[in-house]
Amino acid sequence: MPDVRKSRSRGADGANSAPRAHSPLKLEDFLPYRLSILSNTVSQAIADDYQQRHDLGVTEWRVMAVLARFPGLSAREVAERTAMDKVAVSRALARLVEAGRVDRSVHAQDKRRSVLRLSSAGWRIHDDVAPLARARERELLARLDTDERAWLQRILGKLLVDANSK
């Protein structure tokens, strides 16, 4: 049986440091990291377009895209649908409301709940940015053949269902 005792090394101050039995994570092969890098790279390519045109951040655009698809959500519901941090969504919404891109009203039955919708200015921005986002997506997916695109959709669907069920 191999000797599995952990050796200790002395730090600069002479004190014992942590055991030396480390197993570094190979980040470049770690699926969550790779998905994050892909997402960030693709999102930033699209964001470069709308940041220059509309002074709009990634979180703000995602909030607008969700409200275009699902008008009348609350801030909490936007955060849930996007899996984004509630604080980040709240800040993005504050900026969007202040800029006149999102209208906020009070729910008829629950006065504590806000109801969010794109304003006409928000729709103009959405209708400018959405085709750019779709074009970038087409460029990315063009690197894959038809079968690979279908498999990618299936795999992402399975992984997202599994992630959401935890």
The CATH number given to whatever domain includes residue 148 is 1.10.10.10
Tell me which residue range forms the domain holding 158.
51-164
Rg (CA), the chain: 23
**Coil, helix or strand for 103?**
strand
List, for residues 109-135, the tens digit of each pLDDT value.
Answer: 776 778 999 999 999 999 999 999 999
Number of domains in the chain: 1
Q: Does some domain include residue 23?
A: no
List, for residues 50-62, the tens digit of each pLDDT value.
Answer: 999 999 999 999 9
Q: Does some domain include residue 7?
A: no
Q: Does some domain include residue 148?
A: yes
Which residues have a Cβ under 8 Å from the Cβ of 7 and sit 6 or more positions away?
19, 20
Type of residue found at 28? E
